[in-house]
Structure 1
Amino acid sequence: KPERICVFTFTNKAAGEIAERLAGELGPSVERVKRGTIHAFCAELLREFGEHVGLQLGFGIADESDQRTVLRRLKAPAKMHKSVLDAFARYRFRGEPMGHRYQTYYDGYKQIMSERNVADFDTLVLKTAELLRIATVAAEVRARWDVVLVDEFQDLNPIQYAVVRELAREHRHVFVVGDDEQSVYSWTGADPKVFNDFRSDFGIALGDVVHLRDNRRCPPAVLDPARRLIAMNESIFENREPQRTTHVSPFAVTALTFADDDSETAWIMEDLRRDHSAHDGTLGWGDVALLYRTHKIGRAIETAFLNAGIPCRLAQGRALADDKIVAYVLAALRVIANPHDEIQQELFYQTVLPDAVFDSARAWAEETGRSLVQQLEHMARTLPREHG
C-alpha cells in the first residue's frame, strides 16, 4: 500500500523527482506515499506531539535570517555568524565541544529561542529524536508505515539517523541509498560513519551491500584523478568495487593556481577568447559554462566579463522567498502571527526598509542600548523635527 511507505530525501526537489519516478509504477496512488525532507517530517510530527518535548502549540520555525538576528542580539560579530551556527550544529549533533565564547552565545541563543517558542531546523530533528524515545508516542508513529526509504544517506548526522532507526525498529524494512565518498556536510554534523551504524543496527553483512558501479556522469579523465584523491580518505567499505564509465572526453583535468582572484579572472577571460578564436566562430559564447563555488564569486566574474565585452548570463536559481513581494508578505504574516516578537518585527523592518536606513538604525540601537524597534520608533518621532 503506497500510504504505508515513508521516503526521506535531502531536498524538496529530490522528493518531487522520486514521486515522478514512482508515478510510473504506482500511478495516481503515488500521492499517498509519505515523502519529503527529514526536517519537514520532523516539523509535522512535532505539530502533533510537540508538547511531549516542551514545544508549545503554534511554535515557529526559524530560518537562517532569524538565527542571525538572534546572534546580533547576543552581540556576536556578523563575520562570525556562520562559524557560530556551524559550531552549534557540530556540538548538538556530534558532541564536539565549543569554546567559552561560543558556549555563551549558545546559552543565550537557546534561551531566546525558548522564550519565543521557536525552533530552528536542528532543533526540529533533536526534538523528534527525543520524542521517539517516548515509548507510547514512538509505537503510535511507527505503526503508520511498513517501509522506510532514505536517499542521500551519507548526509545524515547521527541524530537524524536515530530518527530513521526508531521509525524502522519494529518492522526493520528500511532501504538506504548513499555514497560515503560524497559526504560533504561534516560542517553541519553529518558523519558517513552512520553507514556502519546502519549495518550494525540492522544486521547487514558487507556482502549484502549493493555497489552501484556504473558512473553515468563523469569520463575517465575526471573519474580517475578523483579516485586517486579519495583513496587518501578513510574507507567505510573495504570491499568497494571500482567504478566504471563509458563516457569519453578529449580533455584532461588541469589544476592551476593564481596569485589572486583578479589574476584568475584574467586567465579565464583570455582562455575563453583563445577557444572562441580557435573554433572560427563555431563555438559560441553560449556554448561555454563556468562553474563557481558561491554566488558572490559569480557576480564578480559577471562584472569582469561584461566590462571586457564578453557576453554572459548568471544561470542561478532563486528561491521563492527571495522575491521582494513574497518576502514582504511572509515577513508581514510572521509579525501578524507573533505581534509581540521583536525579532520578527526586526526581520520585517529589514525587509521593507532601505539598507542604509536599517543599518543606521541598528548601529544607533547598539550605541544607545535600545532595541532596534525602539530605535526606529525614536527615529520616527525625532528625525522630522531634527531636520526641520
Structure 2
Amino acid sequence: MALKVKDILQLQSLQGMKLVSGERGLERAVCSAGIADYEFASEIEYDNDMPFDKDSFIISSLLFAKNDEKKIMEAVRKLYEMGTSAFAYKDIIYGQLPQEVVKFSNDKNFPIFAFGQNVYFENIIYEIMDAVQQEDTLILAEQNILKMIEYQLPKEEVTSISKSISLFFKEYAMAVYVSPPPDGEKLDVRRILRSFYLNKGLKNKCILCRYRKGLFMILTSAFSQPEKFEVILNEAMESLSIDEEKVWVCRSNVHRSYDQLDLCLREGWHTYAASVIDGRPYEGYHQIGMFRYLIPLSGNFAMQQFADDLMTPLLDKEEFLHTCLTFVHNKGDLNATAYDCACHPNTIRYRLSKVKEMTGLESKTEAEFYAELSAAVRLYLLKEQAGL
C-alpha cells in the first residue's frame, strides 16, 4: 500500500506546510518527489512532455512565474494532467495563489500547500524519498513474513530473507505481534510506523514490519534472556505511544536472529491466532498449549476429517453448537457455561449427553470427551476464521 499525501505531512520537513486547497485529495498516493523549476519557464525550451513521474509530490519556488502569475495556473493544470499527487510552493514570491488556481485545485481534489523560507527543498525531497523507500521495504517485508510463517523454508533461505529485512540484527531475536482484539479499535499502524521512523534510539533494538491488521516488532539483543527483551519491548511500546490496554501483545520465544527468524515470526503469529480462537490474550507462545500443534496442522486432511466428523452433526443445531463452543471456551467448566448460556447446569449436562449421542462418543469418559470435543471445536474455529 503506497504512502498517501496525508501520511507524508507527518515528516519533519513537511510539518510546517499549510494546506491551501484540495483538501479532499489527501488520500492521493505518493510514490516519488520532484522540484518544478525550468520545466514551466517560457524562456527555456524544454521538450519533455512528462518531466515528473505519476504520483509525485512536486515542490517549487514559483520562480518561473515571477513576472506572470498566469503561468501558475498553466503549471498546476499540467501537473494534475501528469497524474502527480500534490503541489507545494515556497510563499516568498507569491504569498497567495490566484483564485482560479485555488478553484481548480478544489474542483479536481488536487492538494496544494504553502511553506515558508526556513524549509529547504533538499530536506523535503530527501525525507519523502526515504519514507517511500521505507514503505516499499515494509511491503516487501510483509510478503517475506508471510512466506516464513506459512512454509518450512531451508535455513539458507530464512537467513537470506532475514538479511533482506535487516542487516543489523544482533545475535538473538524475539517477534512480538501487536494487534487489537477482533472487537477492538483499529490499530493506527501508519502513525506508529511514522513515529518509529523518527525515533533513532529504537532502530538498533527493534524492527517494525506491518503484517495483516497489526504489526510485528522484531526485537533484537546480544543476550538471550527474555528479561532483556521485556526491557526493549517496554521502551518500544512507550516510545511509540501504543496503549497496552487496547492491544494484544503476543510474544514468541527467543531464537537466533538470522537462521531462526522464521520460528520467531511463526510463534508470535500463532500466539495471536490462539488468542483470537480462545477469545483472550495469550502473552507468550509457551502458554498456548495444544494450539502449538493444532494451528500448524489445521490444514492437514486427517485433522480436518477428525473435526468434520465430530462437528458436522452439530452445525444445523444452533443450541447444541453454541453450548459446545461455550463449554470449550470455559475450559470444561459446567457452571461457567450455564451462566454464559443463561440456563441451569443440569441443562448443560443434558445437552452435552445429547452431543455425545450425536457424535458417537457415548463410550468416552468425561475427560476423553472434553479432550476430543475441545480439539474439534478449535479446529472448526481455525477453519471458520481463516482470515487470521
What range is the shorter-chain TM-score in? under 0.3
Q: Report which of the two has the higher share of helix.
A: 1
Higher strand content, 1 or 2: 2
Rg (Cα) greater in structure:
2
**What is the TM-score with the length of structure 1 in the denominator?**
0.21
